[in-house]
Amino acid sequence: MFIIGELINGMYREVAEAIKNKDKGVIQRIAKEQVEAGSEALDLNCGPASRDPVGDMVWLVQAVQEATDKILCLDSTKINVIEAGLKVVKNKAIINSTSADKDKLDIIIPLALKYNTGLIGLTLDKKGVPQDKERRLELAAAIVADCQEKGFPLENLYIDPVVLPVNVAQAQLEDTLKVLLEFKIISQPPPKTVMGLSNVSQGTKQRSMINSTFLVMAVAHGLDAAILDPLDKYLMDSLITAELILNKQIYCDSFLQAYRKR
């Protein structure tokens, strides 16, 4: 599993405060903790309260890459925020994200090509998040087709079926899992798949249990990458164990210790 640490997000009060006060130490500590816990990439999101998302994204990128050289996943719906961040990224980046809207794809895919980044494509459009698996598949196919047309390598494309909270859209979660398998037959090579895992438990009281169970099920449906809280030990141990059961890790009696810190 390609793990993208989700904790540098202005949705968290501590992070929002640190961004506001330009307190690099807090951000760099959270970056290092997530890397130590197994993240290969770090999501950077200024949060809904940011007054200057362009300036804040540039500051976040610069602060984080002083602490780690991991892949940076620039998380914003605003194209100018993404581009400002890309201009200062030194190593590898992933654009998080584009919708399936043609006008957005026409700007974002060339940007991803110009800066040689990965790209996350959400299966939503101006009409919103689909209610069913068929529409999610249609939107994924539209993103894949546009990437093929523009010469963007599908190995660098991550399709995200858009996870909604279990207390809001319970009836859709099974479809969200099943469509992961269907994304894989859209093209050759297939796109990769990613989920914002913690969305599933927002507003619930058993977050770790819900996140872990959903992640294990997603692993069984071939999920390639997850935006998650890598500091949740129960979640990470569940992930390692799911990969063990699917023969993606070699068994030994101390497999949890052996695989936790790779």
**Block residue for tokens 């780690």:** 68
* Ramachandran bin of 162, using left for φ above 0, alpha for ψ from -120 to 50, beta for the remaining angles: left
Q: Nearest approach, Cβ of 240 to ligand THG (angstroms)?
A: 21
165 backbone dihedrals φ, ψ, rounded to 5°: -65, 140
Q: Nearest approach, Cβ of 4 to ligand THG (angstroms)?
A: 8
Of the candidates 174, 171, 163, 170, the one whose C-alpha atom is nearest the C-alpha of residue 197 is: 163
98 backbone dihedrals φ, ψ, rounded to 5°: -120, 155
Q: Give the Cα separation of 125 and 130 in Å (integer).
A: 9
String marking each residue 38-67 x if it binds ligand THG according to CB under 6 A:
-----x-x----------------------
- CB of 98 closer than 8 Å to CB of 82: no
State yes or no: residue 179 binds ligand THG (CB under 6 A): no
State yes or no: residue 129 binds ligand THG (CB under 6 A): no
State yes or no: residue 164 binds ligand THG (CB under 6 A): no
- CB of 64 closer than 8 Å to CB of 8: yes
State yes or no: residue 163 binds ligand THG (CB under 6 A): yes
Q: Nearest approach, Cβ of 151 to ligand THG (angstroms)?
A: 23
Q: Nearest approach, Cβ of 198 to ligand THG (angstroms)?
A: 4
State yes or no: residue 11 binds ligand THG (CB under 6 A): yes
Q: Nearest approach, Cβ of 245 to ligand THG (angstroms)?
A: 25
User: Which position among 38, 71, 75, 183 is part of the footprint of ligand THG (CB under 6 A)?
Assistant: 75
Q: Give the Cα separation of 236 and 246 in Å (integer).
A: 15
- CB of 236 closer than 8 Å to CB of 197: no
Count of positions on this chain that bind ligand THG (CB under 6 A): 18
Q: Given the rule CB under 6 A, which residues bind ligand THG?
A: 6, 9, 11-13, 43, 45, 75, 96-97, 120, 160, 163, 196, 198-199, 202, 227
